[in-house]
Amino acid sequence: MVSESEERSMGEKEYKNILQKTPPLASTDPKTERARRIGEKLAAVSGKPDFNWEFNVIDDEKTINAFCLPGGKVVVYTGILKIIKDDDELATVMGHEIGHAIAHHGAERMSQGMLTQIGGAVLAAAVGGQSPMAQRAYKEAYGTGANLGILLPFSRKHESEADYIGLILMSKAGFNPEAAVNFWQTMEKASPGKDDPLAKFMSTHPSHKDRVKNIKKWLPEARKYQPKE
């Protein structure tokens, strides 16, 4: 329901807004140069030469995150750089975020949200003749059902897809795919309690244990893409 051009346009707009609110480090900063060097290697094997790739680092040590907006706008926060051991682990993070962009997960999530809103409107019309209390109960049930039954699992699927794509990209770009296992194991140690059954069910991300398990399963395939010496 969202075209690629619309997705990119929204990505460009949001990217500019983010950088206006939180200006990135200078292009000559070693952290920015590192992110750009790694990002350009990943972009070169992404199959997206039409993306207008940009790589920036935002100085925010409390934010352990990175993202890639549609069209190839990549931002890494210094908070995640503190727990990354080497370039291979940074390629793990950036490859994962780039995976979201090249798989058009943003457009898919927007389309899913639009469909959910349409479904909610149809339901509201169908129960319009009932009491306000009954209508509210139906709407709340619909909202919870849509969130747990559709939106969260859909997001977990995106995360797994991005893990897989990122693993292949980093391997193609000459980085060690084994580093993905090390990185997510480090994240697991830094995030106690994330594998609680209820937290796992409600989370939009797979548990770190599930991530590591899947990555280990994909490693033999990823190794085949490493450049020949």
Task: Please give the chain's pLDDT, 229 residues, in tens.
Answer: 567 777 777 778 888 988 999 999 999 999 999 999 999 999 999 999 999 999 999 999 988 889 888 889 999 999 999 999 999 999 999 999 999 888 876 666 665 555 555 444 444 444 455 555 544 543 444 344 444 443 444 477 888 999 999 999 999 999 999 999 999 988 877 765 555 554 544 455 677 788 899 999 999 999 999 998 6
> Which residues pair with residue 220 across a beta bridge?
none
pLDDT of residue 126: 47
pLDDT of residue 178: 96
pLDDT of residue 131: 53
Number of domains in the chain: 2
Is residue 122 included in any domain, yes or no? yes
Domain boundary among 74, 102, 130: 102
Examine the domain organization and report whether 206 and 111 are in the same domain.
yes
For the full predicted model, state whether its pTM sits above 0.85. Answer: no
Examine the domain organization and report whether 98 and 115 are in the same domain.
no
In this structure, are residues 93 and 65 in contact, taking their beta carbons and an 8 Å threshold? Answer: no
Examine the domain organization and report whether 78 and 119 are in the same domain.
no
pLDDT of residue 151: 41
Helix axes 30-44, 87-102, angle to 10 degrees: 50
The beta-carbon contacts of 62-68 under 8 Å, at least 24 apart in sequence, are 64/190, 66/93, 66/94, 66/97, 67/97, 67/100, 68/94, 68/97, 68/98, 68/100, 68/101
Radius of gyration of the chain (CA): 20
pLDDT of residue 181: 96
Q: Which of 7, 54, 89, 97 is catalytic?
A: 97
pLDDT of residue 153: 45
CA 54 to the chain's CA centroid: 17
SS3 state at 129: coil
Active site residue 6: no
Please tell me the distance from the alpha carbon of residue 196 to that of residue 27, in angstroms, as a whole number. 41
Examine the domain organization and report whether 171 and 198 are in the same domain.
yes
HSE-up of 84 (CA within 13 Å, CB side)? 23
Examine the domain organization and report whether 119 and 87 are in the same domain.
no
